[in-house]
């Protein structure tokens, strides 16, 4: 059984979309990544995060029910869990952040449990680059692969820290606008080349409903997003992608380019569930049968014989 | 040798992009469609259009050099060729029309040469639906396939004519916003379903740099656009797509779903050349070898083995 170490937020989210709104529900990058990766049965996923005293047992139960090890989630007494609230507009591609209460996240110091210090795959969810680095530094065995997710916010306030960390990662997942910002290049082909030069040998550019591009030196691979009749809530789609990507790779003996392409397809496949309901509801409840059926739909969507 | 009848504009374009600007150069939907289709050697393409006395012999020579039959291009004495001028902004996805001088197009009455009245494939380029219909009505043998391209402008001023025509076509090619406008549905899956119900059994939704979706009843297929280091001028990309789509199909014995999927890939492949230079320059000069090499790049971009 391979080990996947996930370092990422566990949070409360309140979400508004054209289709409805939620009170505080379970959210956070680490949550989505873990739940998504839990679809791979031969992977032992350990989640490193921090929550407040207000984080309910029932949310721990959700994670445990999917086999996620939460030993690395620190519960800070007398403090509150990270809270994010956002609102999506009609086209669902843009969102406004309404509230960000960092709470426990402000002083998050990740502690990797002994058991996961030799994890084969490390997934660094979106956090301050120094926090991501502090987690990575605790590994006692060099991971086979380190995957980093980040966002424009860290490019704005901690670019040098991010660049230092990029030298240590194998894969970066980033959206198209962030790739343009990080590289200063408008063309994604040129952006990927510039980001390669910063360290990661694999650059995954997420384009939301327009799919995801994988760049590896001179090679390119593309996975579409599955066109859906209804997109209900895009929150967590990128993190679900990252969980599918790393979960699939944790199950593979070798990290060949072919396997990394397949990991992109798996990430896209699992992300297509997350957007069908508010929050983690759909990805936490999806069955093996549904996942397999949708993978067949993906093949139908992309396969041709020229 | 199969026949492809193309009805579409032959025009002068003046284009401005972030990379430069042109004087009046050869343009028009029919021109791009014809040049693109000319990459298929076993297809006899007849172009039906109208130009003014100012249309130079050298532009006819461009079309003839690619084997396009221009017998159906009427030259109106004492009048001027249709002229369009547009400007693209940084992201190249949006353009402003600066000038539209209809000139000869104002009274265009397409006359299909006898030789093409039994063409197997008919491609109706973007024109008033009644003009498209007037061309289609001249067929003496029912075509194996009629493909229609249109735009929002005709939905605004001639929706009922367009709806009448849609009942007679097998395939519609349309961009994402136009599909939304025509159907009143935001989701492309729902939009395609609504457009199916209007007539076309195949709905091709073009998403520019984000690729193209093919819908056929319950089936979906997706072809990405090839990510390019430099996109120089997007003018004519959609028409080049249509020319590759119909040219490929004209060469096929049977119009199976598998072949129509391949036609979408061929359309995307050829369109990737057009955007690399101003106007028709690149698509008029592309070699067989380049086309084949790029098709291999497409396969590399899309093939995986899960």
Mean pLDDT per 10-residue interval, chain B, length 306 residues: 97 94 96 98 98 98 98 98 93 86 96 98 98 98 98 96 98 97 96 98 96 96 95 94 98 97 98 96 97 96 94
Residue A222's pLDDT is what? 97
Measured in degrees and rounded to the nearest 5, phi and psi for residue B205 equal -105, 115
pLDDT band at A166 (very low <50, low <70, confident <90, very high): very high
| B45 within 8 A of B113, measured Cβ to Cβ | no
What are the structure tokens assigned to B265, written together?
A: 């890939």
Distance CA A128, CA A161 (A): 9
Of A85-99, A102-116, B149-163, B255-269, where does mean pLDDT reach its minimum?
A85-99
What are the structure tokens assigned to B261, written together?
A: 């999927």
Q: Which of A91, A267, A304, A305 to mutate to test the interface with B (most CBs of B within 10 A)?
A: A304
What pTM value is reported for the model? 0.95
Cα Rg of chain A (Å, integer): 18
How far A227 CA sits from the closest chain B CA (Å)?
6
* Nearest CB partner across the interface for A306, out of B219, B230, B265: B265
Taking each helix axis as running N to C, give the angle between helix A257-274 and helix A29-37, from 0 to 180 degrees, rounded to the nearest 10: 110
Q: Give me the mean pLDDT over the A38-50 stretch.
A: 97
Q: Which residues contact B45 (CB under 8 A, 6 or more apart)?
A: B3, B4, B6, B34, B37, B38, B67, B68, B69, B247
Which residue does chain A place closest to B263, by CA atoms?
A: A306
pLDDT over threshold 80, residue A92: no
Q: Which of B218, B227, B248, B256 to mutate to test the interface with A (most CBs of A within 10 A)?
A: B227
CB contact, 8 Å: B294 with chain A?
Answer: no
Residue B251's pLDDT is what? 97
In the three-class reduction of DSSP (H, G, I as helix; E, B as strand; rest coil), residue A165 is classed as helix
Measured in degrees and rounded to the nearest 5, phi and psi for residue B26 equal -65, 130
How much of chain A, in percent, has pLDDT values that exceed 70? 100
Q: Give me the mean pLDDT over the A220-234 stretch.
A: 94
| A26 within 8 A of A12, measured Cβ to Cβ | yes
Q: What is the pLDDT of residues A56-78, one digit of tens each?
A: 999 999 999 999 999 999 999 99
Q: What is the DSSP string of A250-267?
A: HH-SS--HHHHHHHHHHH
Between A and B, how many CB-CB pairs are < 8 A? 85
CB contact, 8 Å: B304 with chain A?
Answer: yes
Q: Give me the mean pLDDT over the A124-131 stretch.
A: 98
How far B262 CA sits from the closest chain A CA (Å)?
6
Distance CA B36, CA B132 (A): 20
Residue A91's pLDDT is what? 75
Residue B92's pLDDT is what? 77
Centre a 10 Å sphere on the Cβ of residue B303 and count the other Cβ atoms it contains.
Answer: 14
Q: What is the pLDDT of residues B118-139, one digit of tens each?
A: 999 999 999 999 999 999 999 9
Q: What is the pLDDT of residues A3-26, one digit of tens each?
A: 999 999 999 999 999 889 999 999
In the three-class reduction of DSSP (H, G, I as helix; E, B as strand; rest coil), residue A250 is classed as helix
CB contact, 8 Å: A293 with chain B?
Answer: no
CB contact, 8 Å: A113 with chain B?
Answer: no
Q: Give me the mean pLDDT over the A138-150 stretch.
A: 98
Residue A287's pLDDT is what? 97
**Contact yes or no for A187 and B229 at CB 8 A:** yes
**Contact yes or no for A304 and B186 at CB 8 A:** no
Could you say which DSSP state residue B69 is in? B
| A263 within 8 A of A249, measured Cβ to Cβ | yes
CB contact, 8 Å: B259 with chain A?
Answer: no
Distance CA A43, CA A93 (A): 32
What are the structure tokens assigned to A159, written together?
A: 């670019």
Distance CA A69, CA A60 (A): 10
A-chain residues near B265 (CB < 8 A): 304, 306
Residue A212's pLDDT is what? 98
**Contact yes or no for B262 and A305 at CB 8 A:** yes
B-chain residues near A222 (CB < 8 A): 224, 227, 301-302
Distance CA A160, CA A129 (A): 9
Pairing assessment for the beta strands A25-27 and A11-17 based on DSSP bridges: antiparallel
pLDDT over threshold 80, residue A165: yes
Q: Give the torsion sign (CA, A264, A269, A270, A275).
A: positive
Full 3-state SS string of B225-276: CCCCCCCCCCCCHHHHHHHHHHHHHHCCCCCCHHHHHHHHHHHHHHHHHHCC
**Contact yes or no for B211 and A229 at CB 8 A:** no
Distance CA A184, CA A182 (A): 6
Residue B262's pLDDT is what? 98
Distance CA A241, CA A236 (A): 8
| B37 within 8 A of B286, measured Cβ to Cβ | no
Distance CA A10, CA A160 (A): 26
Distance CA B19, CA B10 (A): 24
């Amino acid at each position: 059984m391979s080990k996947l170490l996930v370092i990422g937020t566990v949070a409360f989210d309140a979400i508004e979309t054209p289709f409805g709104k939620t009170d505080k529900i379970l959210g956070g990058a680490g949550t989505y990544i873990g739940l998504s990766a839990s679809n791979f049965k031969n992977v032992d996923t350990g989640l490193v995060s921090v929550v407040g005293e207000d984080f309910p047992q029932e949310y721990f139960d959700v994670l445990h029910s999917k086999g996620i090890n939460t030993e690395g989630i620190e519960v800070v007494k007398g403090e509150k869990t990270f809270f994010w609230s956002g609102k999506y507009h009609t086209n669902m591609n843009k969102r406004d952040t309404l509230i960000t209460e960092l709470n426990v996240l402000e002083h998050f110091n990740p502690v990797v449990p002994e058991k996961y210090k030799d994890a084969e795959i490390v997934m660094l969810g979106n956090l301050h680059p120094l926090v991501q680095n502090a987690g990575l530094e605790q590994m006692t065995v060099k991971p086979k692969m380190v995957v980093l997710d980040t966002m424009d916010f860290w490019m704005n306030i901690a670019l040098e820290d991010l660049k230092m960390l990029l030298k240590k990662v194998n894969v970066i997942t980033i959206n198209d606008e962030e790739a343009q910002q990080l590289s200063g290049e408008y063309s994604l082909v040129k952006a990927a080349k510039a980001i390669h030069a910063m360290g990661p040998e694999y650059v995954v550019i997420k384009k939301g409903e327009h799919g995801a591009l994988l760049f590896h030196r001179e090679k390119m691979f593309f996975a579409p997003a599955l066109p859906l009749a209804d997109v209900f809530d895009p929150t967590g789609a990128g993190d679900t992608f990252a969980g599918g990507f790393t979960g699939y790779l944790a199950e593979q003996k070798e990290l060949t380019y072919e396997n990394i392409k397949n990991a992109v397809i798996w990430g896209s496949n699992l992300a297509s569930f997350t957007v069908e309901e508010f929050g983690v509801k759909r990805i936490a409840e999806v069955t093996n049968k549904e996942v397999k059926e949708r993978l067949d739909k993906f093949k139908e969507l992309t396969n041709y014989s020229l």
